Structure 1
Amino acid sequence: MKDIDYNALAQTYQTPLYVYDLQKISSAFLSLKDAFRARKSLICYALKANSNLSIIHHLGTLGSGADCVSIGEVRRALRAGIPKYKIIFSGVGKQDSEIQEALQSDILFLNVESEKELQRIESIAKALNKVARISIRVNPNIDAKTHPYISTGLHENKFGVDIQQAKAMYIFAKNSLYIEPVGIHFHIGSQLTDIEPIRQAAKKIAQLAHSLIALKIDLKFFDVGGGIGIRYENENLISPYDYSQAILEALYGLDLTIICEPGRFLVGESGVLLTRVLYEKYNGDKRFVVVDAAMNDLMRPTLYHAKHKVECFDKQDLESTPCDVVGPICESGDYLAKNIMLPPLAHGDLLKIENVGAYGYSMASNYNTRLRPAEVAVQNGNARLIKNRERFEDIISDEEKLLENVGHIDSHSKGEL
């Protein structure tokens, strides 16, 4: 995003502000699509990474499908123009109403996470007189070698079922009048930087696929999940080519369409968070740079101890000293970076926090009654607003109406709001 005038964007849209480079998203998507060009494949963007409708729509124009983990995300995908036959509904805890709506929406399939869920899907499909297309998420019990909060492929994680359970569930599905097993799925974790766990998991699940096909279970899709990492610091990255080759090697002899569900890989490096310095302070020798962004705007540093590069504008010629970049929230855990080097900063100076396109805005909250920031997309040098900055009235309107109903707000106090 070298050609983007961040100062102008910050001036126009105020800070904190998320800015996304759509060309970077296109490049990431096309690199992965090209890596699988030798086989039938479908890339289903994981909406949880960034669920802005404009981001989803942009990926849809490139041919992307959608991996969703709530009915809200299914609705977003449909609203953004993703064809129903490219939408997958995953997630451990689907409610009956979500399953019903997904079946009525006729999406590609539901990823099933447990025997009880499969039974609920059958019951709901029977009541609707529909056949539910499903895939079963198999937990290969392989260590993804990533942060424990985003590791999903071990038995100690809540996701999926073991191989023996999966076999029994596929046989149950095959014999059901209301379930059609069409795929097999695994996903071992996020921010993966080592190809070997992916290779091992793919081989293990491919062996299971062979045995299921031998049982006359007509699988069509081999869903390898997502998880390819990006560079926040000095990580060794998995190239799309190496990733695809590991999958293709495992699938030798299987004529299945490959589905992958990248999120972070597609949008992570596209985004920056702009924030202005409020002031500096010292507690003893400890230097703090207090900014107008906070942990409610970017949760990753607090939640995962994640590190994002922070860059200042126009002061590179000054000597830098160590500091913590912190926000206004009433928590000691409210920080955006720790022990980084920055030059002396003054009120109004602009900082750029990099690689926040994934799990940035999508994890933002109103903690401390803070308003979530605006979002801007840049394409071919043109910037456009894709999410308005929240207003105080937006976040209290329903509360205020409900409180008015019990007569606890008179006209005077309402005016003070």
Structure 2
Amino acid sequence: MNKWEEKILRLKQEHEQPFCAYIYDLDHLNDHVSQIVSQLPERSEMYYAMKANSERPILEEIAPLVHGFEVASIGEVRKAREVDPQIPVIFGGPGKTDEEILEAIRSRVSLIHVESIHELRRIEYLAGQLRVTVPILLRINLSGPFPDAATLHMAGRPTQFGIDEKEIPMVMEQLGKCEHVNLEGFHFHSISNHLNEFNHIRLLNTYIEKAKQWANQYGLTISRINAGGGIGVNYQDLSRQFHWPTFVSELRELLRKELPETWTLMFECGRYLTASCGYYVCEVLDLKENHGEKYAIVRGGTHHFRLPVSWNHSHPFRILPVDEWKYPFQRKKWEDCEITVVGQLCTPKDVMARQVPVEELRIGDLIVFQYTGAYSWSISHHDFLSHPHPAHFYLREIDHQWRAERKVES
């Protein structure tokens, strides 16, 4: 048993039963993000995409390590400012209201990502009312094609994101009429959860070439390209992840050859920064078989942890044996079989892993889902059926003793 399994068992013993909790390793998070950012080449920056996980302890840990936060709502702007009033914030999203734009400007966001010609006109109008000049990036929906290995595509096909590449001439004409916006560059976020380092470099090269083409064609003085996030996590094989050292080695050469000396390449990663620091731990409440399929019913479910349903995958987990058994009757167990892990919801879609081989599982054991630090609790329908929320523990080691800061969700 490793030290993390010992910590989880201690938490279970110290708190109410049956156990259900998100547990975050802040030491791992700090080390992981520090290594990623420190290895970036010159003229590149890393922003944290808050949508992945905006819990305050996570933000406080990450804020000193990254170049800023990327946000997609005014609520996230407020969270960013509560953590650090001075940290650079870049504001995107396809449906910004006037009130959000005005508050973002007043909150001194560093950049607003413009998603349409209409939004450009509105920002110009609102900035004029405030008598300020707003720095912007144009988010462009490129025509593609893009690598098929990515899980999600935001460009190269019909989506609600960005300005169609074909509208560039109209956008430039509109920009010529604007007095209260300052175009600093372009934003491209075309794919998500990309796992191939070399294909991602080729994608970045496409972004740089497009930006240089438009800068030359329209006589633009720009300084920034935002490549978005898109770097993924391999949930099917946790041992084979996107190889960051290889990527930054190739990136360094790409920037040296292709990026103009006065330009900066920005990244806004979320999942890749925080996923590996999180665990979702559920106690097995029952083992039952229906129509030939074996089900492990756990405390919790997809109302806490929606990612497996959202991506239609079996999320990786480990089984943590628990020796205690409080009942006077025999404890049920299964050996050398395939199990489907489900939660407490009254829907057959409440499935977190389907037909996964296990050596042994007993009622009362813990199922520990790994890599749940991103797009897990944050995207879930917490109050469906009004089940209790999980506890949240933020762990770090201090003077060779680990400490857990606890937040209980109401």
User: TM-score scaled by structure 1?
Assistant: 0.86
* 2:221 equivalent to 1:218: yes
- Structure 2 counterpart SS, 1:357: coil
- Structure 1 counterpart SS, 2:141: coil
Shift in alpha-carbon separation, 1:248–1:121, aligned structure 2, 3 A: farther
Shift in alpha-carbon separation, 1:41–1:204, aligned structure 2, 3 A: closer
TM-superposed deviation, 1:120: 1.2
Distance, in Å, in 2 between the alignment partners of 1:41 and 1:143 is: 22
Cross-structure match for 2:168: 166
- Structure 2 counterpart SS, 1:296: coil
Cross-structure match for 1:404: none
TM-superposed deviation, 1:97: 0.7
Distance, in Å, in 2 between the alignment partners of 1:250 and 1:122 is: 35
| Partner amino acid, structure 2, of 1:267 | T
**Aligned counterparts, 1:25-44, within 5 A:** 25-36=29-40, 38-44=41-47
Residues 6-45 of structure 1: per-residue CA shift (max 9 Å, x gap): 0112333443200111122223212321332x31232110
Distance, in Å, in 2 between the alignment partners of 1:24 and 1:306 is: 25
Contact 1:135 1:185 in 2 (8 A): yes
Cross-structure match for 1:326: 342
Q: Which runs of 4+ in 1 moved over 6 A?
A: 315-318
Cross-structure match for 1:293: 300
Contact 2:197 2:243 in 1 (8 A): no
Moved more, 175-184 or 162-171: 162-171
Cross-structure match for 2:326: none
Distance, in Å, in 2 between the alignment partners of 1:344 and 1:206 is: 52
Shift in alpha-carbon separation, 1:361–1:253, aligned structure 2, 3 A: closer
TM-superposed deviation, 1:89: 0.5
Residues 151-173 of structure 1: per-residue CA shift (max 9 Å, x gap): 21223222112334235424533
* 2:82 equivalent to 1:79: yes
**Aligned counterparts, 1:203-282, within 5 A:** 203-214=205-216, 215-234=218-237, 236-251=240-255, 252-254=258-260, 255-282=262-289
| Partner amino acid, structure 1, of 2:294 | R
Residues 124-148 of structure 1: per-residue CA shift (max 9 Å, x gap): 1111111111001122223342565
Shift in alpha-carbon separation, 1:82–1:337, aligned structure 2, 3 A: farther
| Partner amino acid, structure 1, of 2:310 | L
Residues 358-409 of structure 1: per-residue CA shift (max 9 Å, x gap): 111101221112232221111125233353222xxxxxxxxxxxxxxxxxxx
Cross-structure match for 1:376: 393
Which of 117, 120, 123 is 1:118 aligned to?
Answer: 120
Cross-structure match for 1:3: 3
Shift in alpha-carbon separation, 1:303–1:147, aligned structure 2, 3 A: farther
Structure 2: segments with no counterpart, 5+ residues: 324-332
Equivalent pairs, count:
387
| Partner amino acid, structure 2, of 1:139 | N
| Partner amino acid, structure 1, of 2:62 | L
Cross-structure match for 1:55: 58
Contact 2:340 2:356 in 1 (8 A): yes
Contact 2:24 2:277 in 1 (8 A): yes
| Partner amino acid, structure 2, of 1:297 | H
Moved more, 240-249 or 319-328: 240-249
* 2:83 equivalent to 1:109: no
Distance, in Å, in 1 between the alignment partners of 2:50 and 2:379 is: 12
Shift in alpha-carbon separation, 1:54–1:246, aligned structure 2, 3 A: same
- Structure 1 counterpart SS, 2:3: coil
Cross-structure match for 1:98: 100
Moved more, 319-328 or 373-382: 373-382
- Structure 2 counterpart SS, 1:176: coil
Residues 327-377 of structure 1: per-residue CA shift (max 9 Å, x gap): 110111101111012355444322211111111110122111223222111
Cross-structure match for 2:408: 388
| Partner amino acid, structure 1, of 2:384 | Y
- Structure 1 counterpart SS, 2:126: helix
- Structure 1 counterpart SS, 2:269: coil
TM-superposed deviation, 1:210: 1.7
TM-superposed deviation, 1:83: 2.6
Contact 1:268 1:357 in 2 (8 A): yes
| Partner amino acid, structure 2, of 1:274 | V
Percent of pairs with identical residues: 25
TM-superposed deviation, 1:80: 1.3
Distance, in Å, in 2 between the alignment partners of 1:83 and 1:292 is: 41
Contact 1:142 1:197 in 2 (8 A): no
TM-superposed deviation, 1:325: 0.8
Distance, in Å, in 2 between the alignment partners of 1:134 and 1:246 is: 28
Residues 150-200 of structure 1: per-residue CA shift (max 9 Å, x gap): 321223222112334235424533541100011211112221112354334
* 2:367 equivalent to 1:358: no
Cross-structure match for 1:17: 21
Contact 1:274 1:351 in 2 (8 A): yes
- Structure 2 counterpart SS, 1:138: strand
Moved more, 359-368 or 304-313: 304-313
- Structure 2 counterpart SS, 1:266: helix
Distance, in Å, in 2 between the alignment partners of 1:147 and 1:63 is: 25
Cross-structure match for 2:364: 348
TM-superposed deviation, 1:2: 4.0
| Partner amino acid, structure 2, of 1:372 | H
- Structure 2 counterpart SS, 1:62: coil
User: TM-score scaled by structure 2?
Assistant: 0.87
